[in-house]
Structure 1
Amino acid sequence: MSLAKLLVFPVLLSIAAAILWFVYYSNAPGITSAITGNGAGVTAPITAASKRELLDFHMANFNQGWARYSDGVVATEDGGVTWLPAPAEAASVPQANGDEETAAVSWLSGKDLSPPSIQVQAQEYAVHKSQFLSRNVGWAMLVSGTAAEAPLWVTVDGGTNWSSKVTADIAVQIQAEHGQILAAVKETSFYAEQAAAQKAMEASWTLMPDTASPGDVVLVRHQQPGEVEWEGKTYTLEPFGTGYFTYLPISIGLKAGSYPIGDTVLTITAKKFQTQYLQVTKQMESMKQDTSRIQADQKKIDLARSQSQAEFLGVSNYIIPVEGRLTTPYGYTRYVNGKFDSSHRALDLAAKEGTPIKATNDGIVALSDMLYLTGNSIYIDHGMGLFSQYAHMSELLVSAGDYVKQGDIIGLVGTTGFSTGPHLHFTFWAHNVPVNPNLFFDTTPFQWTTPAEGQ
C-alpha cells in the first residue's frame, strides 16, 4: 500500500466517526441540537453515547424545563423543541411542578394524572416518572433500560398518543393549550369562586342569572361562537376567556314566562313598577318639543355607543357613583304635568350641587358633552356593549377617549338640562337598551346567579 493511501485511510475513519457522532446527537432522545443555517454551531454533550442515560427531568411550565442525563444536564426554553446544555444547577432548583399557572383552574390541571405505563404502536412501556402540565399536555420518563426509541415522551391529547420528539405540530398544540389555560385563568378571575367558573366553562350554555325581571339584563355565555335571537334582535356572541358572550337586555314590557336560550331556559318573572307625577314649568315642558335639537343630540349618543371594546373592562365590583338620596327608582312610570311622559329607565340620586361623581367601574369615556335634555352628560364604555350614563352634571372633568378607573372623579352634581333640582341621572345601557342599574352595584355580571333582593 502506498504512503498516500496510508495517510488518507485514518482521515476517512475520522470523518466517518464525526458523521456518526453528529447523527447520534442530532437524534438523541429529548434533545434537538442547535444548528445554524450553514451547519455550524452544533451543540451536544461530548461524552460517549453508550454512557447516556436519562436520570431525571422536570418541566417548570409549558416552555421551560430540564433533563439530567448521565453525561450532563440539558434545558429547554421552547417547550421541548430544542434542548441545550445547561449548568448542573439547573436541575437543582425548586421543582414547582408547573402548578402556578393552573392553580386558579385546578379542574384543568393534570397534577392528578400519573400513568403507570404508556402505549406506543401497540407496545406498552413502563413509566418511571410523569408530569402533566394540564389535562392534555404531559411528559413521561420511561423505566431505565426500556427498549424504546427514547427515554422521554410527550403527549398533547391526555395520553392517548405519545411522541418521542416535540415536532412542529406538537409544539403548536402545546402553545395552543398554554393559551387556553391563560384564557381560562383570566376568565376565572371574574367569577365569585372557582367552582362557579368551572360550572360555567363546562356547560354548553350559561345564563347569568337564569331568572330575571322586565328591565333587567342577562349575561349569556356559550362554548362556541354564534348568535342569539332575542326579542326580535340578533346579538353576536363575542370571544372572551374560553367562551363567547353577549348581554341580553330585557324589555320593560316583556311578559312573564320561560324563554329558551340555546339548550337552557331563561325564566322571566312578573314585576310591577310604580307611578310618579312631576310638575314642571311650561318653559321646561316645552323643551321636549324641540325635536330637532333632541334628534341632533341622539345622533351624537348613538355614534358614541355604536362601538364598544371587545372585552370586559370592569374588573371589580360596580359602585354607586354618588352619595345621594334616591328620588326616582328605576322603572317608574312618569307623568309630567298630568300627561304620560315615559318609563324612567334610570336612577335619580339627589345631592348638593358640586358633589363629586365617581366612575362606577373601569372603562373608556365614549362621550363627554353638553346635551339639550340631559345637560352635561358622560357615557363610559365598560366593554361588550355595556355603557354607564351620567347626566345633569354641573361640570365635566373627563373627555372622550379618557380611560377611567373605578372611583375616579368624572364630574360634579348639577341641574343642567331638563332637571327640577340638583341630582345625578344614572343608568346602564346594554346594546343601546337602558337596564336596571341596581343589578350591578357591589357585584359584577359574572357573579349574577339569582336576582338581588329589592330589585
Structure 2
Amino acid sequence: MGTGTMKHKVLLGGALLLGVCAGIFIYEQRTPAEEQGDGRIVAEKKSPVRREMTEFRMKDFDRGWIRYADGGTLVTEDGGLTWREGAVPESEEASVEPAVWSGMLPEERKPDTVVFQSREYPVKQSQFMTDRLGWVLLPHSAELKHSVLVTTDGGNTWYNEVTPSIRTAMQEEKKRQQQIKDEAARYASEGNAKLAIGSQWTLLPDTVSPGDVVLVRHSGPGEVSWQGKTFPLEPSGAGYFTYVPVSMQVKPGSYAIGDQTLTVKAKKFETQYLQVTKQMEAMKQDTQRIQADQKAIDAARSKSEPEFLFSEAFIQPIEGILTTPYGYTRYVNGKLDSTHTALDLAAKQGTPIKATNDGVVALADSLYLTGNSIYIDHGMGLFSQYAHLFELHVKAGDRVKKGDIIGTVGTTGFSTGPHLHFTFWAHNTPVNPNLFFNTTPFHWLRKET
C-alpha cells in the first residue's frame, strides 16, 4: 500500500536490508560462501525475509496504521499511498470513524476469503469503510508482496498496493459518501433515505391524483419520458432527479416510470360559478395581449436552476380565506371558462405576501390577466406563482429566502376582489400547491424500511 525505496544497503546482524516496499522491510540472508581451491567466491545463496503483519486499522479515508509481529508500526495519512514509521496515537488505537453516513453500510462485511491474482486466500482481519471501499489482512505468506489488500468496488477486485489511481478512487468514494449524507438529510427519516438512495428508481410519491406532481429519483443520469414529453434527470446529492407533473388530463390507471409503477387515482373536483361585469368578461377576448404576456411567462419559466434551491418545508404565502380550491371547474357568467389550477386566498389589500420557500425571482411584472405577478424558481423546473398583487417588492434575478416579503395582496388584472392567486408550476404544468405546504417533495415518500 504505497512504495518507498532505499538507495543504500545496510547490514543488520548478517542480514542485508535491501529496501522498503509499502512498509514491508525486505532482507537478504547471506549463507557461507562456496569457495574454490584458490579461495574465490563462486556463489552466494540468498533468501528474502519479510516482516509479518499482525494487525491493521484504518481510522478514516486517510489515516491508518499497520502493526508487525516485532512490535513496529507504520502509519499513513493519505489512505495508504505512502507509509512511514511511527507510533499509533492512543486515541486512534481502537476507534474507527465510520463512513459519513452509516445508513448505506452493509450489515457486516466480513469475508472469510478473497480472491487475489486468481488464488483464494483466507482472511485474517477485514474492515469496510463503505459498501465499496474496504481492506483485508491475509495471513503472512512469503508469496505475497505484503498482506494488506484494498478494494474500491465492494470486493470484486483486490489490490496489494495503493497506486495514485486507487487513491483517486478513494477520494471519489469519500466525495460520494458526503453526497449521500447531504441527500439523506432531506428525507423524513433515515429509513426512507436508505430506501430511496439504495434503489435504482424511486417515486415520491408512487400514488397520485390528476393535478399532482411526482419527484422522480434515479441512481444514474438519463431522462424520463412521460405523456409524450421528456424530462432530463439532473444530478443532486447521490442521485438524479426530475419532477413529473400529472396534469388534470391524465386518466386514472397504472403507469411505468423506470422499474416503478405510478398509480393515478380518480379524483372528483367541484364546480364554481362566477358573475363578472361585461367589461371584465371582455378582457379575455384580447388574445393579442394575453399571448404577449404568455411569451414572457414561458421565457421566465424555461430557465430553472439545475439544483434544489430549498432545504426546508414550504409555507403558505398568506393566511387568507380560501375562496377557490385547486381543481375547481369554473363557469364565468354561465359559460364554461377553465379549470382553476391554483388556490385563491382572500385577504385585505396590502396584506404582506411571503415567499413560499428559497429561490430566485424569475419574473416580477405587471401582466394583463394576472395583474402584478411574481414567479419564483425553486430549482429543477419548479416555480411558485403569485398573482393580482397590489405591490411588487422584488425584481427578476433577486434571491429570496423562505418568508421574505415579496409583495402585498391586491386585485389587479382579472380579479373580483383582493386576493392572492397562488400555485406551483412543474415543467410549465400547474400542480396542486396543497402538496407542498409544511413539507417538501422529499417527504412524499410513503414507504419506510
TM-score, shorter chain, exceeding 0.5: yes
| Aligned amino acid, residue 28 of structure 1 | G
Alignment of structure 1 residues 315-326 onto 2, 5 Å: 315-326=311-322
Aligned to 2:9: 17
Task: Considering fraction of residues, name the structure with more helix.
Answer: 1
Selected match of 1:448 from 435, 444, 447: 444
Aligned to 1:395: 391
* Cα pair 2:216 2:241 within 8 Å, conserved: yes
Deviates more, 1:274-283 or 1:21-30: 21-30
- SS of residue paired to 2:298: helix
Deviation of 1:438 (Å): 0.9
Deviation of 1:394 (Å): 1.7
| Aligned amino acid, residue 75 of structure 2 | V
Alignment of structure 1 residues 227-238 onto 2, 5 Å: 227-238=223-234
* Cα pair 1:204 1:222 within 8 Å, conserved: yes
Whether 2:58 is the aligned partner of 1:59: answer: yes
Deviates more, 1:147-156 or 1:62-71: 62-71
1:268 & 1:118 partners in 2: Cα distance?
48
Same amino acid, percent of matched pairs: 56
May I ask how many residue pairs the two structures share in their alignment? Answer: 415
| Aligned amino acid, residue 351 of structure 2 | T
- SS of residue paired to 1:24: strand
2:233 & 2:7 partners in 1: Cα distance?
63
1:197 & 1:336 partners in 2: Cα distance?
47
Selected match of 1:347 from 343, 349, 365: 343
- SS of residue paired to 1:186: helix
Whether 2:264 is the aligned partner of 1:268: answer: yes
Whether 2:156 is the aligned partner of 1:166: answer: no
Q: Provide, for residues 347-382 of structure 1, a one-character-per-residue CA deviation record: whole Å limited to 9, x for no partner.
A: 011112222211112211111222222122111111
2:93 & 2:439 partners in 1: Cα distance?
39
Aligned to 2:377: 381
2:442 & 2:240 partners in 1: Cα distance?
13
| Aligned amino acid, residue 17 of structure 1 | K
* Cα pair 1:66 1:90 within 8 Å, conserved: no
Q: Provide, for residues 275-298 of structure 1, a one-character-per-residue CA deviation record: whole Å limited to 9, x for no partner.
A: 112222233223223323222222
Whether 2:82 is the aligned partner of 1:82: answer: yes
Aligned to 2:414: 418
- SS of residue paired to 1:92: helix
Selected match of 2:309 from 310, 313, 325: 313
- SS of residue paired to 2:434: helix
Deviation of 1:181 (Å): 2.0
| Aligned amino acid, residue 191 of structure 1 | Y
Change beyond 3 A, Cα 1:419–1:18? farther
| Aligned amino acid, residue 164 of structure 2 | A
1:132 & 1:286 partners in 2: Cα distance?
71
Aligned to 1:436: 432
Selected match of 1:336 from 329, 332, 336: 332
1:114 & 1:236 partners in 2: Cα distance?
39
Structure 1: unaligned runs, 5 residues or longer? 1-13, 31-48
1:95 & 1:416 partners in 2: Cα distance?
69
Aligned to 2:111: 115
Aligned to 1:42: none
Change beyond 3 A, Cα 1:365–1:96? farther
Whether 2:359 is the aligned partner of 1:358: answer: no
Deviates more, 1:334-343 or 1:374-383: 334-343
Selected match of 2:204 from 196, 201, 208: 208
* Cα pair 1:274 1:331 within 8 Å, conserved: yes
TM-score, normalised by the number of residues in structure 1? 0.82
Whether 2:28 is the aligned partner of 1:28: answer: no
2:17 & 2:142 partners in 1: Cα distance?
24
| Aligned amino acid, residue 82 of structure 1 | T
Deviation of 1:446 (Å): 2.0
Deviation of 1:422 (Å): 1.4
Change beyond 3 A, Cα 1:23–1:422? farther
2:241 & 2:117 partners in 1: Cα distance?
42
Deviation of 1:73 (Å): 4.4
Deviation of 1:345 (Å): 0.6
Change beyond 3 A, Cα 1:95–1:420? farther
- SS of residue paired to 2:196: helix
* Cα pair 2:342 2:421 within 8 Å, conserved: yes
1:94 & 1:326 partners in 2: Cα distance?
63
1:174 & 1:407 partners in 2: Cα distance?
41
Task: Considering fraction of residues, name the structure with more strand.
Answer: 2
* Cα pair 2:59 2:92 within 8 Å, conserved: no
Deviation of 1:130 (Å): 2.6
Whether 2:366 is the aligned partner of 1:370: answer: yes
Deviates more, 1:353-362 or 1:117-126: 117-126
1:183 & 1:442 partners in 2: Cα distance?
25
